[in-house]
Amino acid sequence: TQLLEQSPQFLSIQEGENLTVYCNSSSVFSSLQWYRQEPGEGPVLLVTVVTGGEVKKLKRLTFQFGDARKDSSLHITAAQPGDTGLYLCAGEDNYGQNFVFGPGTRLSVLP
Amino acid sequence: GAGVSQSPRYKVAKRGQDVALRCDPISGHVSLFWYQQALGQGPEFLTYFQNEAQLDKSGLPSDRFFAERPEGSVSTLKIQRTQQEDSAVYLCASSSFSGGAKLQETQYFGPGTRLLVL
Taking 90 as the threshold, does the pLDDT of residue B98 lie above it? no
**pLDDT tier at B2, thresholds 50, 70, 90:** confident
The B residues from 23 to 82 touching A (CB cutoff 8 Å) are: 35, 40-45
Cβ-based contacts of B109 with chain A (< 8 Å): 41-44
The pLDDT of residue A46? 95
Per-residue pLDDT of B9-55, as tens digits, reads 999 999 999 999 999 999 999 999 999 999 989 999 999 999 999 99
**pLDDT tier at B104, thresholds 50, 70, 90:** low
The pLDDT of residue A79? 97
| A98 to chain B: closest CA residue | B102
The pLDDT of residue A75? 98
Per-residue pLDDT of A51-75, as tens digits, reads 999 999 999 999 999 999 999 999 9
| B47 to chain A: closest CA residue | A98
The pLDDT of residue A90? 93
3 state SS of B18: coil
From the CA of A92, how many Å to the nearest CA of chain B? Answer: 6
The pLDDT of residue A97? 65
Read off the DSSP letter of residue B87.
-
Q: What is the average pLDDT value for chain B, to the nearest integer?
A: 92
Cis, bond preceding A111 (omega within 30 deg of 0): no
Cα separation, B52 vs B29, in Å, equals 11
Residues with Cβ within 8 Å of B41's Cβ and at least 6 positions away in sequence, in order, are A103, A104
Whether A42 and B102 lie within 8 Å, measured CB to CB:
no
Taking 70 as the threshold, does the pLDDT of residue B102 lie above it? no
Cα separation, A102 vs A104, in Å, equals 5
Q: Where are the beta strands (DSSP E) in chain B?
A: 5-7, 10-13, 19-24, 31-37, 44-50, 53-56, 65-68, 75-79, 88-95, 108-109, 113-117
Q: Is A19 within 8 Å of A79 (Cβ atoms)? A: yes
Q: Are strands B10-13 and B113-117 parallel, antiparallel or unpaired?
A: parallel
The pLDDT of residue A87? 98
Taking 70 as the threshold, does the pLDDT of residue B101 lie above it? no
Cα separation, A88 vs A35, in Å, equals 5
Instruction: List, for chain A, all residue ranges whose pLDDT scores fall below the cut of 50.
Output: none
The pLDDT of residue B97? 73
From the CA of B108, how many Å to the nearest CA of chain A? Answer: 7
